[in-house]
Structures are given as structure tokens and as C-alpha cells.
Amino acid sequence: MRMGGKGTGGPPRGNGPKRGGRPPASGAPKGKRPSHDARRSARARPRPAEDEVVRTAPTRNPKPHHPAPRAAGPRKPAPRKPPITDAPTRAEVKAVTAEVLATGVQQLVVTQDENEMRIDRFLEARFPQLSFSHIQRIVRKGELRVDGKRADSKDRLTAGQTVRIPPLKLEQAAERPRSAKADADTIGFLRSITLYEDEDVMVLNKPAGLAVQGGSGTTRHVDGMLAALTGKDGQKPRLVHRLDKDTAGCLVIAKSRFAAATLAKTFRSRSARKVYWALVYHVPRVKQGRISTYLAREEAYDGDQRMAVAEHGDDGAMHAVTYYAVVETAAQKLAWLSLKPVTGRTHQLRAHAAHIGHPIVGDPKYFDIQNWEMPGGIQNKLHLLARRIVLPHPRGKGTIDVSAPLPPHMRQSWNLLGFEDAPYDPIVDAPDE
């Protein structure tokens, strides 16, 4: 007889809970099977959420936890994390320290003081915060116009012209504090070497060994010293020509923009007459002469730069003309020359003296005489002096005529050789071309 089958007389399936079976649903009468609705309600109970803790049976034979032995000594505190603040970013700090001034399109009229000024110098004077590369870029792109036409950075302006300036972004440079004592010392030094001065022009007696402009490793120079003479209007005296570092003598300085533009034109047109004195090796056979060559820059064996005689048409070759005259001699060993440069090329007098076989005594670049011994008492320094400068006053107030004395090392040599400073200089009457 089958028991428990459907439709049989055996006990009904599910009568009473089995071991491990599901307990009856809540509310079901004891001893009776839960209804279909009760079983459905039990299955519909919600499962535990993911963030609820579900207890599980521990694993068998768990490994014991043995903490690492702590080092002897006081316990170091854990490093504290910096508090989170609203600190400015690096870009924000830079923006605060260097304020950017944005400008729109500007139409600037060239003043009389800016007449004959080069365009790049004009922009530097009007916008000191503008970098050289920025100037070249706006000129190259044609964004800068003069009277409506494109212009080159080397073009010169005329008073009354209108210069169109494109929008610029200028960084306000932080002003470096100046030392009042240092400025006072610099001004005192410049006054001590001033040969001539008025409201427009200064002529300095530049000492030998003092650079005119800064360069690699050069921190003390005339151009930097002139900043101490900046006026209340912000104008700083300007250089209008150059002298080599080891050349002493007359150096012309413009004290205003108008004077700078006018004097630059004077030097360009060769209206300024310059006379130099030099002590050279041996005595030239021709007592008065003219030296006319082309000069070009060359790389010396030690990496230094110097000028060399070149041929017409060579790369970088420029025509140079110098007149010379012998003033006095010393036993055919040394000669005092008066030199008048018509052109103003770099190292022109030094290269020309070496070219005719009479290099200037003490010249480290061009004196290459073998087995040369300096006469006793003569210092091994460049014996070249910018003796005299004659030029028209920038405002038409006559002529500026200034002479510089011999520097100490040349004075010593003149005394040793018995040379006397003559009031007449034979080179003055030499041609101007």
C-alpha cells in the first residue's frame, strides 16, 4: 500500500514541521499547512541591504594575529596633514605680483623730441614694459603702422607722424628699490669725470677699463650709471655713440630725447669731428696718410671677436676710412699718432693701425709683433685716447668743442718718452670724407 500519495488514506504531506524544514508562517494555525497567500507573503520578504552587516560563521582554524614588535623609544606622532585652505594658485600669485595692463588700439603722434627716432626706440621709450621680442613681432606682422603704412623697426620717425599701436599686454615690472647712498656715490663719480654739461648734453672723460654698456659678466658700466641721473620726468640720459672698454676719453651723452635724436643724426651724417691719440709700434714711413679698407668681424682663435681687413662684397664687410699724422717719435721705436676716423666702425682705429704694420701699444687684440718687449716704465695697457670731439649743438647754440686729458698710464708714457702736449694737432685739418 502506498502511503502519503495523493488521494490515499495516508497522512497528508507537510503535516507538522520536519527537521530543517521551514517554520510555518506567522499567523498560521498550528498543525495546519500555511495557505498559498501566506507562503507567497513569506517569499516576498525583503533581503538585507548591501550596507547591512550579515553575520557569518567563523572560518576554521583562523591564523592568530601577532602584531610587529614596537621599536624602543618614544612613539613618534603621526604626521599631520596640512589643513585644507583656499590658498591661491601659482598663476594667481603671478597675476598679483606682475599686474598685466591690457591696452586697446592707440594712435600716437610723434613729438619734436622724438624726431628722427627709430621706431623700436620710440616704442621702448613710450612703453618701457614692452619686450624687444614683442616689438619685433608686431612690426613683423604688420600690426604697427605709420601714417597708415607698414613700417620696419629700423625706420625713423618724423615729428607729426601718427603711429598706430595694436592692442598690447604689458606686464608691470616690479620696481627694484634703489640705494640712495649708491646713487649719490655714482652721481659724484660722474660729476668728477664731466668735461662739459648743459641742459641737453654731457661730455664725460671715460676712464680706460670702464665699459660703456653691459655685456657678459659686465655689471659696472656707464649706461647703468646714467640711471642715477634720471630726472623727475622719468627721462634717463642716453648714449649716442660708443667707445671701447679700454679706450679713454670723450664720450658724448644726451640728456633729453630731442638731444638724443639730433645727436644720433649728427654722428650718422659724419658731422661730428673726432680726434684720437695713440702710441704705436715703430714709425710709419709716410708721415701723413689715409687708410681705406673694408672691415668684417671674424672669430679669433681664442673665441674672442675682432675685426679684420676684408674684400669688398665679403659677408659683413663695411667700408672704413681713417686719416693719420705722426706728431712725434721716439728713436724710431715708437710714434705718437693723431688719428681722425671718418667712419665709425667697430675697432676701426685699432684694426687700421695693425693693418699698416704699426699696432697700438698695449692692444690685447691687434698687437701681434713677435719678440716685442715693452720699454721700461711703459704699462701694458691700450694707449688710445678719444682726445677731442667737435660737433654742432643739438639746439643750434653754436659748437661743442671738448678735449680730454691723457689718462694716467698714457701720461706716464708721454713723460718717459719726452712727448709734450702740443696745442696744434695736425690731423684737425684732414678731410671729412
Structural domain includes residue 251: yes
Most confident of 159-173, 206-220, 407-421: 407-421
Helix or strand holding residue 222 (H, E):
helix 222-225
Give a yes or no: residue 83 inside a domain. no
- Residues pairing with 277 in the sheet: 338, 385
Would you give the distance in Å from CA 392 to the centre of its chain? 34
What pLDDT does residue 392 have? 96
- What was the pLDDT predicted at 75? 60
Are 337 and 280 in contact by the 8 Å Cβ rule? The answer is yes
> Is residue 260 one of the residues assigned to a domain?
yes
What is the pLDDT at residue 51? 45
Region 141-164 average pLDDT: 86
Q: Which amino acid belongs to residue 167?
A: P
The model's confidence at residue 199, banded by pLDDT at 50, 70 and 90, is very high
- Percent of the chain exceeding pLDDT 70 equals 68
Domain assignment of residue 48, yes or no: no
264 and 325 fall within a common domain: yes
Q: Does residue 8 lie in a domain region?
A: no
Span 144-148, average pLDDT: 90
Backbone phi, psi, residue 348, to 5°: -60, -50
Strand partners, 42: none
Q: Which of 216, 228, 278 is nearest to 253 (CA)?
A: 228
Is residue 394 predicted with pLDDT exceeding 90? Answer: yes
Measured between alpha carbons, how far is 34 from 26 in angstroms, rounded to an integer?
9
More confident residue, 254 or 425: 254
Kindly give the interhelix angle for 119-126 and 132-140, rounded to the nearest 10 degrees. 130
* CA-CA-CA-CA torsion sign (146, 271, 402, 363): positive
Q: 107: domain range?
A: 95-171
Mean pLDDT of 391-415: 95
150, 197: one domain: no
Residue 44: the pLDDT is 53
Shared domain check, 189 and 153: no
Whether 99 has a pLDDT exceeding 60, the answer reads no
Q: Residue 253 and residue 183: Cα distance in Å, rounded?
A: 18
- Domain match, 164 and 296 both: no
Integer Cα distance of 112 and 68 in angstroms:
87
pLDDT of residue 134: 79
Q: Which of 149, 171, 193 is the last residue of a domain?
A: 171
Domain end marker among 171, 198, 220 = 171
The reply to whether 327 and 355 lie within a common domain is yes
Q: E strands, 2-159, where?
A: 100-102, 106-109, 145-146, 149-150
The predicted structure's pLDDT at residue 118: 79
Between 32 and 121, whose confidence is greater?
A: 121
> The CATH number of the domain where 362 resides is what?
3.30.2350.10
For the annotated catalytic residues, the residue numbers are: 244
Q: Are residues 121 and 200 in the same domain?
A: no
Instruction: Indicate whether 223 and 109 sit together in one domain.
Output: no
* 393: in domain: yes
Question: Each residue of 260-307: pLDDT tens digit?
Answer: 889 988 998 889 999 999 999 999 999 999 999 999 988 655 556 789
Q: Model pTM?
A: 0.63
Q: How confident is the model at residue 124 (pLDDT cuts 50, 70, 90)?
A: confident
Assess whether pLDDT exceeds 90 at residue 248: yes
Q: What is the pLDDT of residue 65?
A: 53
Residues 222 and 361 in one domain: yes
Given pLDDT bands bounded at 50, 70 and 90, which one contains residue 22?
Answer: low
Provide the mean pLDDT of the chain: 78
CA-nearest of 371, 419, 374, 412 to 208 is 412
pLDDT of residue 169 exceeding 80 = no
pLDDT given at position 33: 59
The residue ranking higher by pLDDT, 64 or 336, is 336
Q: What distances in angstroms separate CA 35 from CA 21, 38, 158, 261, one per listed residue?
A: 16, 5, 112, 114
Query: Hey, what's the cell of 101?
Result: 595692463
Residues 162 and 198 reside in one and the same domain: no
Q: Whole-angstrom Cα distance, residue 355 to residue 365? A: 13
Q: What count of residues does the chain have?
A: 433
pLDDT in tens, 299-328: 655 556 789 999 998 888 999 999 999 999
Q: What is the pLDDT of residue 87?
A: 46
Q: Rounded to whole angstroms, how far apart are CA atoms 15 and 13? A: 6
Distance in angstroms (rounded) separating the CA atoms of residues 347 and 382: 12
- Number of domains comprising the chain: 2
Cell numbers at residue 118, please? 627709430
Give residues with Cβ within 8 angstroms of 181, minimum separation 6. Answer: none
Q: Are residues 157 and 185 in the same domain?
A: no
With cut-offs at 50, 70 and 90, classify the pLDDT of residue 110.
confident
Strands (E), 317-372: 318-330, 334-341
Q: Is 51 domain-assigned?
A: no
Strand 106-109 to strand 248-254: parallel, antiparallel, or no bridges (unpaired)? unpaired
Are 322 and 339 spatial neighbours (Cβ–Cβ below 8 Å)? yes
Q: What pLDDT shows up at residue 167? A: 84
What is the amino acid identity at position 20?
G
The yes-or-no verdict on residue 168 having pLDDT over 70 is: yes
Query: For 20-28, what is the mean pLDDT?
Result: 50
Is residue 299 located within the same domain as residue 323? Answer: yes
CATH number of the domain bearing residue 154: 3.10.290.10
Residue 197 CB: number of other CB atoms within 10 A?
14
β pairing state of 384-392 and 248-254: parallel
Judgement on whether residues 132 and 194 belong to the same structural domain of the protein = no
pLDDT of residue 406: 95
pLDDT tens for residues 202-225?
999 999 999 998 766 778 899 889
Q: In this structure, which long-range contacts are made by residues 95-100, counting pairs with CB atoms below 8 Å and at least 24 apart in sequence? A: 97/174, 98/171, 98/172, 98/173, 98/174, 99/171, 99/172, 100/169, 100/170, 100/171, 100/172
Structural domain includes residue 74: no
Cβ atoms of 122 and 157 closer than 8 Å: yes
Q: Domain boundary residue among 171, 199, 214?
A: 171
Indicate if the alpha-carbon torsion angle 90, 94, 96, 101 is positive or negative: negative
Band the pLDDT of 86: cuts 50, 70, 90. Answer: very low
| Nine cell digits for residue 337 | 699718432
Q: Which helix (H) or strand (E) holds 169?
A: strand 169-171
Per DSSP, the three-state class of 388 is: strand
